[in-house]
Structure 1
Amino acid sequence: MDNLSRRGLLAGAGALVAAGSLGLPTASARPVRAAALPATKRFKMSATTNEFFRSKPLWGPTVMQSFAFDTPNNRLFTGQLRSGTPANSGDLTLSQLSFSGTVLGHMYLNGFGHAVSIGAQAVGSTTYIWTETDVDTANGRGRQICRFPWKNGATLSSSSVTKWKPVAGGSVFTPAVDQRYGRLGVRHSSPDGMRINVYDLAAASAGDYSTVLASFKQPTLTAGVAFQGWALYGSYCYFWEGTAYPGEPDETKANSKLWAYDINAGKIVDSFLTLAGKSLTYREAEGMAVYGSTDATARLYFGFASGVSGDRRANLFYRNDLV
């Protein structure tokens, strides 16, 4: 759950400075911006809901906060707060799942953040994971972003990974990877609210954040409803929100909503209040990601946590209609 997104919207663009290391290219005070992203199709928010899997335990098992697909290697990863650690410690668990929801492996991340959004990037047969890192223990969120290779059974500390702060003065960073179009989105907070910058994925992987392909304020979503995830695909950004309700399913309490934002037009173009997984107990919206290397194979996934405290489960659904 990302309650920080309930703040107001960001005013102004802000200067960018890269915090990369190892002598890599850095961002200038006046970053280059493209006029627009090449226009693409978008997912239809009211399309048929498809179920991927239901009620699967993760490594832990704690609430799934986010997930990401490595499309070329057909891998699925989830991000979770680690069981038994202080709430704002930033200690995370990553689970690798099969496409049927079976746990295949895990990693531990010490001092990283909340895992509101993670990304996956294929480099040959290796999956690189993008996350927030350098936790601010005052709020449990990451102050930078990082990228590291998946290694089953490994434990990483925030001090052991190369970190970047793409936006000077920004905080509460979370990444999203658009694998098909080769882009990295970076959502971040400022004193006035939330903003998203889009970068070339290859350049960002090398620590170069000097060219901003797109930059926009997160649009106003539903007041009082928790922000739960976001994803990039082409010239659109997608948002996911929803608050859990306990006990028996009650459709009148369901408030999980999908949003589609046209980056070039600068506005919301579609939204839909979904009852997917309405029979789930607890049913908290958690996580959003895109799978697919073509329009024909592309799917926009959205997740729910379910189950009782101490035995939370992961559930994934998707849309695959593009318009």
Structure 2
Amino acid sequence: MDNLSRRGLLTGAGAILAAGSLGAPTASARPVRTAALPATKRFKMSATTNEFFRHKPLWGPRVMQSFAFDTPNNRLFTGQLRSETAENSGDITLSQLSFSGTVLGHMYLTGFGHAVSIGAQAVGSTSYIWTETDVDTANGRGRQICRFPWRNGATMTSSSVTKWKPVSNGSVFTPAVDQRFGRLGVRYALSDGMHINVYSLAAAAAGDYSTVLATFKQPSLTSGVPFQGWALYGSYAYFWEGSAYPGEPDETKANSKLWCYDINAGQIVDSFLTLAGKSLTYREAEGMAVYGSTDATARLFFGFASGVAGDRRANLFYRNDLV
């Protein structure tokens, strides 16, 4: 950690809350698009690395795929494949963790997807979770997105949630929530690669995807290196990539890289190959999310899985310098 205490990290106020009821999608043959997002600051990719927690078990021994913060309620959630089921079944385990990494609860999602990216949204004291859903068992990825309230100990099926497909000809959907600026990002595949649309979080929660605030094709990252997560903050998108160490820790094989994309300019503006957590066994880049209700409290978190097969653990680090 830097010189900001964990208590200080958790006391940001004034987050934008975007309430909305679940409902049927609003049809739009020709979505309205805005010209640009209001310009904001961006996280500096080469800033000092701060450790949040290291080598913590989740509710299940498989690799953490993603995580998300409910900033106003100071809650942390992680997503991973359920250990008792086949990889392409789309069965997901969600864990709720304390900010010191202790498991506080769990949910099971049956037939949802791979949990490449999840989001969290505060509506009063309730945390709503955004995930992919309606798994395509050919690839284990979700064909739609959904939103539901966190219910500790519950098991949900894909048929029990309201689903949305914001892009009719898209596939492999994943969400990311920008709580600070009240937006939802939706990443999806088209025939020419991955694309991202940005919507109002309140409108999306109500099933209205008729106005696209921004849309762009995901830029090319490092060829041959697995994509491991993404996040939104203001007028920037962030990407996270990296593969596991082959065997015991070997920092010379490290390829975990952070990327910053200026949505308005349509280009990568910063990147950094990080050696954070270089002593971890296995060390596979997994998951990215933003915490914070102001620039002063904002943190760009990125995660790693660690440990041995059958006993994988979660690790979180962050950047907090905005430029």
**Alignment RMSD, CA only?**
1.1
Separation of aligned partners in 1, 2:101 and 2:93:
16
Query: Is contact 2:22–2:205 with CA below 8 Å preserved after alignment?
Result: no
Q: Does the CA contact (< 8 Å) of 1:27 and 1:211 recur in 2?
A: no
Matched, 1:139 2:139: yes
The residue aligned with 1:121 is 121
Which residue of the partner structure matches residue 13 of structure 2?
none
Asked if the contact 2:298/2:320 (under 8 Å) is kept, the reply is: yes
1:263 corresponds to which residue? Answer: 263
Query: Aligned AA for 1:224?
Result: G
TM-score normalised by length of structure 1: 0.93
Deviation at 1:62, TM superposition (A): 1.2
Partner of 1:10: none
Query: Kindly tell me: are residues 161 and 215 of structure 1, through their superposed partners in 2, closer, same or farther at Cα, counting changes over 3 Å?
Result: same
* Aligned amino acid, residue 167 of structure 1: V
Hey, what does 1:308 align to over in structure 2?
A: 308
- 1:164 corresponding residue in structure 2: 164
CA distance in 2, matches of 1:23, 1:105: 27
CA distance in 2, matches of 1:135, 1:25: 19
Q: Give the number of equivalent residue pairs.
A: 303
Measured in 1, the distance between the counterparts of 2:218 and 2:23 equals: 32
Structure 2 unmatched runs, 5+: 1-20
Contact 2:142 2:171 in 1 (8 A): yes
The structural deviation recorded for 1:249 is 1.4
Aligned residue in 2 for 1:220: 220
Write the mapping of 1:90-239 to structure 2, written as runs, cut at 5 A: 90-239=90-239
Q: How much has 1:120 moved relative to structure 2?
A: 0.1
- Check whether the contact 2:25–2:164 (CA below 8 A) recurs between aligned residues: no
User: Residue 88 of structure 1 aligns to a residue in which SS?
Assistant: helix
In the alignment, residue 266 of structure 1 is paired with which amino acid?
A: G
Q: Matches of 1:30 and 1:56 in 2, distance apart?
A: 46
The amino acid of 1:185's aligned partner reads G
Alignment of 1:59-74 (within 5 A): 59-74=59-74
Q: 1:89 to 1:211 in 2, by over 3 A?
A: same
Following superposition, which runs of at least 4 residues in structure 1 exceed 2 angstroms of deviation?
A: 21-25
The answer to whether the Cα contact below 8 Å between 2:186 and 2:196 also exists between their aligned partners in 1 is: yes
Conservation of the 8 A alpha-carbon contact between 1:246 and 1:281: no
Deviation at 1:61, TM superposition (A): 1.9
Per the TM alignment, residue 23 of structure 1 is displaced from its structure 2 partner at its CA by: 6.7
Aligned to 1:292: 292
1:247 offset after TM fit, Å?
Answer: 2.5
User: Structure 1 residue 152: deviation in Å?
Assistant: 0.2
Partner of 1:33: 33
Mapped to 2, the partners of 1:276 and 1:100 lie a distance apart of: 18
**Percent of matched pairs sharing the same residue:** 89
Deviations 1:253-278 (A, max 9, x none): 00000000000000000000000000
Q: Which runs of 5+ in 1 are unaligned?
A: 1-20
Aligned to 1:7: none
Q: Matched residues in 1 for 2:27 and 2:74: separation?
A: 33
Indicate if the aligned counterparts of 1:109 and 1:156 stay in contact, CA closer than 8 A. Answer: yes
Is residue 166–residue 209 contact of structure 1 (8 Å, CA) maintained in 2?
yes
